[in-house]
Structure 1
Amino acid sequence: MDQHPIPRQITTFEFKLIGFLTIKQFIYLVIFVALGLAIYGLTPIPVLNVMFGVLTASIGAAFAFIPINDRPMEVWIRNLIKRLTSPTQYGFQKQNKPISFLQDAVFSSDPHQITAHIDSQKKLGSYLGKNSPTFSVNKKQNINELLLNPLSNLTKKPTINNQSSTSSQVKHPFLTGTVKNHKFTPLGGILIYVKKSADTEPIRILKSNAHGVFLSYNPMPQGEYFFEVKDPKQTHLFDTMKFKVEDQNNQPLEIYSKELI
């Protein structure tokens, strides 16, 4: 089996145009040898002039002939200087505004759409009331009476059944409301403590759903109540509200958070 050649760095390949030297190697040797000769001639001390001259010429030879991992010395030195001068810690600073279609993408700020599930409950209740099984039960009872007493029903005058089918009444919430932030986005999981006064214990605790809606079906005595709103995650802040509860026709509450920024 033939042996494959060892992969080498070919992107920095240069042709040898001056004997066995490339142009870059020749330039390194000329510059550093000239510097070594200049240092040798300008240094007055006999021993030091030879050492500094040979050291300078050796540096040029190292740059020209000693690669490390198929990379010349200049690449290593350039990368070292770049890493030493580049910052080691970066800080993120948000400058671009958020995309418009990503804002309030989940919920709409329209309160009619937020409370749409209440209307769907009403429609479902009315549909179930129209399709109540009481009419079919009354029809079966009349058929059984005809089979048991056929003669009496022949002489009996027909009577009009004025009994109307009773539709199942839908239970409407006594008190409703929504919880939103300053962008009109509904907030879920918010606790609403209903108190008779600011210092007393809560008489009722409500919680908003994923659509920011909270409901209470149990009626409350007429009067003024304090609504203390809290966020379990402590992300949003709310003011304590004072609301007058009536026996009926209570308007839906709208609670907005108090943002810090």
Structure 2
Amino acid sequence: MKQHPIPQDITNYKFHLIGSMTLKQFAEVAVAAVLAFIIFKTNLIAIVKWPLIFFTVGLGAALAFVPIEERPLDHWIQTFFKNIYKPTKFFWKKASKIPDFFNYKISSVQSDFFAPNVNLNPARKQRINEYIKSIPEAEKVDEFDAGENQKISALLNQFNDVKVDQDQIKIEVKKQEKPNLQTRVRDLKAPQEELDNKKYSTNQIFGSVIGQNGQKESEVIIEIKDQSGESLRVIKSDEDGNFVANNPLKNGSYQVIAEKNDQKFPILQVELTGQILDPLVIKA
């Protein structure tokens, strides 16, 4: 079984005389020494005297310096004698108890009525009379006001008695005219299929791409390579299907390769000689 440490008393301070010896330990050792000295001075025979002296001194030292389970020996001795004289048998005796709702008693109700104490001295009466007089009375209507009120009510009742002839009420319904809407057709100019080569410089490659449906194709990737197969320019056709290489190239032969999805375009051979080229047309 696992041993658990017993909580120690750390709240009560114990005065120490010498080192870790408390006042209680010193008293136990001193009492044992005094008793041993008294036994030593008696006329008992040595075989009885010396065992008593050693027992007294040993008991005093054990009480002072030998704890058991972190508790002093005197605590265990006191606990031993207390438990010896305590009863070890307990008997349970059943006692009849009447439930509380059977012990209910009707409390006596006082039938005397005590009237509240009212202070009716003369000063109190005078204040009550002044308060009653200060309450405004209902205004009395004289004969003139009564006649005016009757005339006004009769005039208002005449408005309620007015009858309206339904035949005199005419409701005119006008038909809403439809707005005159005119449609206009604008002539849309078709995009130019041919590019003006005057806008471009010498050795600048430009042109347009036409797809299988005969219309110009946008988003077509055009790659320009030299004779060694090195890629020099990669451009893409615009919404109108046109493409332009931004920077002019050196004189020589070049390949123009177009690619888009599953469409196949022919590879064009272009020879640059330092002059303005005609626009290229790549057809699928």
TM over 0.5: no
TM-score with structure 2 setting the length = 0.31
Look at both structures and tell me which one has the larger radius of gyration over its CA atoms: 2
TM-score (norm 1): 0.33
